Amino acid sequence: MTAELAGKLMQYKVRLKKTDEGYAVWCPYLPGCWSQGDTEAEALENIKDAIKSYLEVVDELNKGEESHYVEVGEPIYA
């Protein structure tokens, strides 16, 4: 993972579906990133590992390429 993202907590929306074998879970915003588990809790833990691995592979594939970073979000005013 890049130094810019290391140590930062990121949240990803995941989908969970009960199956005959347990639970399937996937991240709609990361194509091909999915996992499973016997229980809902196990599936949710497993997708965390799958997301981390997915991001590591993407980072490795883009190693040495010029990258730019942008911030996305709405400012929060108190």
Contacts 24+ apart (CB under 8 A), 51-54: 51/12, 51/27, 52/1, 54/27, 54/30
Per-residue pLDDT at 4:
56
Q: What is the pLDDT of residues 21-45, one digit of tens each?
A: 999 999 999 999 999 999 999 999 9
Check residues 4 and 65 and name the one with the higher pLDDT.
65
Q: What are phi and psi of 35, to 5 degrees?
A: -155, -170
Per-residue pLDDT at 74:
79
The alpha helices in 1-78, defined as continuous H runs, are 40-61
Q: Would you state the structure tokens that stand for residue 38, as one six-digit string?
A: 């016997």
pTM, 2 dp: 0.77
Q: What is the pLDDT of residues 4-22, one digit of tens each?
A: 556 678 899 999 999 999 9
